Copies of this chain bind each other. A is one copy, B any other.
Amino acid sequence: QDEHLIFESDGWGKTGVDLPEPKADGSDLGDLVRRDPIGLPGLSEPEAMRHYVRLSQKNHAIDLAIYPLGSCTMKHNPRLNEKMARLPGFSDIHPLQPQSTVQGALELMDQLAHWLKTLTGMPAVALSPKAGAHGELCGLMAIRAAHRAAGHGLRSDKPRNKVLVPTSAHGTNPATAAFVGYQVVEIAQTEDGRVDIKDLEAKLGDDVAAIMVTNPNTCGLFERDILEISRLTHEAGAYFYCDGANFNAIVGRVRPGDLGVDAMHINLHKTFSTPHGGGGPGAGPVVLSEALAPFAPAPWVVSGEDGFRLEEFAEGEAAQAFGRLCAFHGQMGMYVRALSYMMSHGSDGLRQVAEDAVLNANYIKARLSDLMSAAFPEGPCMHEALFDDEWLKGTDVTTLDFAKAMIDEGFHPMTMYFPLVVHGAMLIEPTETESKQELDRFIEAMRALAQAAKAGDVERFKGAPFHAPLRRLDETRAARQPVLRWTAPEGSNIAAE
């Protein structure tokens, strides 16, 4: 059922907010006043409610069924966390209130930092990055600052201007490295889906600033040689940046600090369950090693005798840092949710999180491997199971087709065509918050689909989805002739721009 746009409603001139009649008319502002129509329809409250509730029902959500997006980690979002984030003492405080009036907020940031540092075994953390990619930026800039301080800046005589990144990495890794001025060099991957140590060794040298390794990696595998990787990196005078997107697979069982990591961002939504919210907001605190700690950006919280203090400008050694990443102190709303989640689980619950996430993924892998081709059949996977499209050969069904057919079964598709190192990749991450009952339901549906694909029922896949709010969308058309906003139809008398 088509839901019109708000601009197609009859809300021109209406409002759904009752405000007192202003006495000011803005005449004191003279020419500065906006005279033309703005082009914003208003809806009465019942209309607005209905519009957005109707729209909402066109979405899939983790609260409706498994959302097995590999690498994205769609897990249950506890409502306790939402409730806590809405306590007026957290949601209704201003970032620039006197610090004496926000001692509880600073305490919360301090507590969050304590949990993150303890879980990762790292001595410092920069809280302010606003998302994972922002955290990568923060980490690489700290690395850059450290090299500069040591005389190996990009414009020095002996510049360290390369960053090594495995082929299987998230796109944000090379994007970030390039963004801060590094040349990106790819590291090869072994047949069993790990970093090729030989290739790494060959490429490490005094021009390398850092390696960026995701661990567990995007194939869902733990880098077995991780200690060797970090030793070699450090021996070469480079830093080890770890993409922490998959920290949820090892939290409570492995501390990145024990692996020799120098910097790692933590996507709070992935490991600590802040809601994805249709694409954000995220939060990406970065834990730092002793070596990088002095290069953290402002602000940070220090605890003293007379309470907590927020340092908003770097002084002393810290002034070597690169400044600040955003206007205020980062994603406070997400800090509250993440701490609420961590306190709820405790150290025992968090370890169980990793174990159940890994168990669930291996269960799916085990139950589907007879019909579908696991990309790395040997040994266990971590929190996600990776298949390739080898098993679809000769069926005329592609990974995309298969994914769209999953929609008709009531499931969100898995991640597809990522990581790039695997042909027609299908990356399935169930997370720890799926029950065995739901996994079995999912597995049965996947098996039935796989059998249908092999049995030649091509139309079921090519035409899919059939039972969704819309059929398959024409993405090419959208990109070729971009229509990025509503405009009034010609001849309409709408008082819009």
Binding site for B on A (CB under 8 A): 1, 9-10, 18, 44-47, 49-50, 53-54, 57, 61, 63-65, 75-76, 78-79, 344, 410, 433-438
State whether A47 touches B435 (Cβ < 8 A): yes
CB-CB under 8 A for A436 and B53, given A45-B78, A76-B45, A344-B18: no
Q: How far apart are the CA atoms of A410 and B344 in the complex, in Å?
A: 42
Say which residue of B47, B54, B410 sits within 8 Å of A64 (CB atoms). Answer: B54
Neighbouring B residues of A53 by C-beta, 8 Å: 61, 63-64
Give which listed residue, B46, B434, B435, contacts A435 with CB less than 8 A.
B46
Given contacts A44-B435, A49-B79, A53-B64, 6 further A-B contacts (CB under 8 A): A9-B437, A10-B436, A44-B433, A46-B433, A46-B435, A47-B437
**Chain B residues in 8 Å Cβ range of A78:** 45
Across-interface contacts of A79 in B (CB, < 8 A)? 49
Minimum CB distance partner of A76 in chain B: B46
Contacts of A65 in B (CB 8 A): 50, 54
Bound complex: CA of A65 vs CA of B1, how far in Å?
12
Given contact pairs A10-B435, A18-B344, A435-B44, A410 touches B50 in the complex (Cβ within 8 A): no
**Using Cβ atoms and an 8 Å threshold, which residues of chain B touch A47?**
435, 437-438
Can you list 11 A-B contacts with CB-CB less than 8 angstroms, sorted by A residue number? A10-B437, A18-B344, A44-B435, A46-B76, A46-B435, A47-B435, A49-B76, A49-B79, A50-B63, A53-B63, A53-B64
Residues on B with C-beta less than 8 A from A10 are 435-437
This chain: how many copies in the complex? 2
The minimal Cβ–Cβ distance linking A149 to chain B, given in whole angstroms, is: 47
Q: How far is the CA of A1 from the CA of B65 in the complex (A)?
A: 12
Q: How far is the CA of A1 from the CA of B408 in the complex (A)?
A: 11
Residues from chain B with Cβ under 8 Å of A9 in the complex: 437
Q: Is the CB of B49 within 8 A of A63?
A: yes
Bound complex: CA A434 to CA B47 (Å) = 8
Give A273 Cβ to nearest chain B Cβ, in Å: 10
Question: Looking across the interface, which residue of chain B has its beta carbon closest to that of A66?
Answer: B50
CB distance from A369 to the nearest CB of B (A): 24
Closest to A44 in B: B435
**Residues of chain B contacted by A49 (CB below 8 angstroms):** 63, 76, 79
Distance in angstroms from A467 CB to nearest chain B CB is: 10
Q: How far is the CA of A28 from the CA of B57 in the complex (A)?
A: 52
Nearest Cβ distance between residue A18 and chain B, in whole angstroms? 7
**Residue of chain B at shortest CB distance from A78:** B45
Q: Nearest Cβ in chain B — how far from A354, in angstroms?
A: 17
| Pick from B45, B57, B433: contact of A57, CB under 8 Å | B57
CA distance A478 to B65 in the complex (A): 31
Closest Cβ of chain B: how far from A478's Cβ, in Å? 28
Question: Smallest distance from the beta carbon of A155 to chain B beta carbons, Å?
Answer: 52
Cβ contacts under 8 Å, A433 to chain B: 44, 46
- Please give the distance in Å from A224's CB to the nearest CB on chain B: 32
Q: Which 7 A-B pairs have the closest CB atoms?
A: A46-B76, A46-B433, A53-B63, A10-B437, A49-B63, A47-B435, A50-B63
How far is it, in angstroms, between the C-alpha of A437 and the C-alpha of B54 when the chains are bound? 16
CA distance A120 to B10 in the complex (A): 35
* Chain B minimum-CB-distance residue to A4: B437
Q: Which residues of B contact A76 (CB under 8 A)?
A: 45-46, 49
Report the nearest B residue to A345, measured CB to CB. B18
Q: What residue of chain B has the Cβ atom nearest to residue A14's Cβ? A: B435
Interface centre among A61, A76, A410, A435, by most B CB within 10 Å?
A435
In the complex, chain B residues whose CB is within 8 Å of the CB of A75: 46
What are the residues of chain B within 8 A of A18 when measuring CB–CB?
344
A18-B349 Cα distance, complex, nearest whole Å: 11
Q: Which residues of B contact A63 (CB under 8 A)?
A: 49-50, 53
How distant is the Cα of A10 from the Cα of B437 in the complex, in angstroms? Answer: 7
- In the complex, what distance in Å separates the CA atom of A433 from the CA atom of B436? 45
**Bound-complex Cα distance A410 to B50 (A):** 13
Q: Contacting A1 at CB < 8 Å: which of B44, B57, B61, B410?
A: B410
Give the CA-CA distance A57 to B64 in the complex, in Å: 9
Complexed CA–CA distance, A54 and B61 (Å): 11
Chain B residues near A54 (CB, 8 Å)? 64-65
A82 to chain B, nearest CB (A): 12
The CA of A47 and the CA of B63, in the complex, are separated in Å by 9
Nearest B-chain residue to A435, judged by Cβ: B47
